[in-house]
Amino acid sequence: MAFNINVFNSCKFLAIRATQYDPASTSADIVISNVDPTTPGSYTAAMTYDLTGKGRINVPTENLNAKNGVFKVCVVENGVEQACKPVLIKCDIDCCLVKLTDELIDCSCDCPRCASTLAKAQKVFLLLASAQSAVEIASTDVNNTGYYKDILSKYNKAKEICDNSCGCDC
The maximal CA–CA distance of the chain, rounded, in angstroms, is 66
* pLDDT tens digit sequence for 105-124: 888 766 777 888 889 999 99
Are the beta carbons of 55 and 17 closer than 8 angstroms? yes
pTM attached to this predicted model: 0.90
**DSSP for residue 49:** B
Angle between helix 145-162 and 112-138 (nearest 10): 160
Look at the alpha carbons of 135, 136, 137, 140 in this order and tell me if their dihedral is positive or negative: positive
Of 99, 110, 72, the C-alpha closest to 88 is: 72
Res 117: pLDDT: 87
Res 48: pLDDT: 97
Residue 168: pLDDT above 80?
no
